[in-house]
Structure 1
Amino acid sequence: MKVLDWNRNVIVVGEVGQAHDGSLGTAHAFIDAIADAGADAVKFQTHIAAAESRTDEPWRVNFSYQDDTRYEYWKRMEFTAQGWAGLRRHTEDRGLAFLSSPFSLEAVELLRRVGVAAWKVASGEVTNVQLLEAVARTGRPVMLSSGMSSWAELDGAVERLRGAGAGPLAVLQCTSAYPTAPDRLGLNVLGRIRERYDCPTGLSDHSGTIYPSLASVALGGRVVEVHVTLSREMFGPDVPASVTSDELRTLVDGVRYIDAALAAPVDKDAVAVELAPLRTIFGRSLVVRRPLPAGHVLTAGDLSAKKPGGGIPPERLEEILGSRLRRALHADEPLCDRDIETAPRA
Structure 2
Amino acid sequence: MKNTFITAEAGANHDRNEFQAFKLIDEAVRAKADAVKFQTYSSETLYSKYTPDFAGYNNITKLIKDIELPRSWQKTLKSYCDDNGIEFISTPFDEKAVDELYELGVKRFKIAGFECTDPRFVKYVASTQLPLIISLGIGTNLDTMLQIRNWILEVNDNPNITFLHCNNAYPTPYKDINLGHMQKMMTFPFARIGLSDHTEGILTPPIAVSLGAEVIEKHYTIDRTLPGPDHPFAIEPDELKDMVDNIRLVETMMGIKDTKYTKSEKEFSMARRSVIVIGDVKKGDVITKDNVTTKRPLLVDSIPAEDYYNVLGKHFIKDLSDDMILMNGDFE
TM range (shorter): 0.7 to 0.9
Q: Which amino acid aligns with 2:96?
A: E
Distance 2:73 2:266 in 1: 63
Confirm or deny: 8 A CA contact 2:195 2:213 kept in the other structure.
Answer: yes
Q: 1:199 aligns with which of 174, 185, 191?
A: 191
Match of 2:216 in 1: 224
Deviations 1:207-233 (A, max 9, x none): 123332222222322211011122343
Q: Does 1:82 align with 2:82?
A: no
Q: Does 1:156 align with 2:172?
A: no
Unaligned runs of 5+ in 1: 1-7, 342-346
Q: What's the offset of the Cα at 1:275?
A: 9.5
Q: Which amino acid aligns with 1:55?
A: K
Confirm or deny: 8 A CA contact 2:16 2:70 kept in the other structure.
Answer: no
Unaligned runs of 5+ in 2: none
Q: 1:14 aligns with which of 8, 13, 30?
A: 8
Confirm or deny: 8 A CA contact 1:43 1:99 kept in the other structure.
Answer: yes
Match of 1:329 in 2: 320
TM-score by length of 2: 0.85
Confirm or deny: 8 A CA contact 1:126 1:153 kept in the other structure.
Answer: no
Match of 2:296 in 1: 306
Deviations 1:121-155 (A, max 9, x none): 11111122222122112221110101111333332
Confirm or deny: 8 A CA contact 1:295 1:327 kept in the other structure.
Answer: yes
Q: Does 1:317 align with 2:308?
A: yes
Distance 2:102 2:112 in 1: 17
Which deviates the most, 295-304 or 106-115? 295-304
Which deviates the most, 103-112 or 291-300? 291-300
Q: What's the offset of the Cα at 1:61?
A: 4.0
Aligned partner of residue 186 in structure 2, secondary structure: helix
Aligned partner of residue 137 in structure 2, secondary structure: coil
Match of 2:119 in 1: 129
Deviations 1:96-129 (A, max 9, x none): 1111112222332333344422111111111222
Which deviates the most, 118-127 or 51-60? 51-60
Which deviates the most, 153-162 or 222-231? 153-162
The 1:316–1:308 alpha-carbon spacing in structure 2 relative to 1, beyond 3 Å, is closer
Q: Does 1:286 align with 2:275?
A: yes
RMSD, matched Cα: 2.9
Match of 2:230 in 1: 238
Confirm or deny: 8 A CA contact 1:126 1:154 kept in the other structure.
Answer: no
Q: Which amino acid aligns with 2:141?
A: S
Identity of aligned residues (%): 28
Which deviates the most, 206-215 or 143-152? 206-215
| Alignment of structure 1 residues 272-283 onto 2, 5 Å | 281-283=270-272
Distance 2:229 2:69 in 1: 19
The 1:321–1:239 alpha-carbon spacing in structure 2 relative to 1, beyond 3 Å, is same
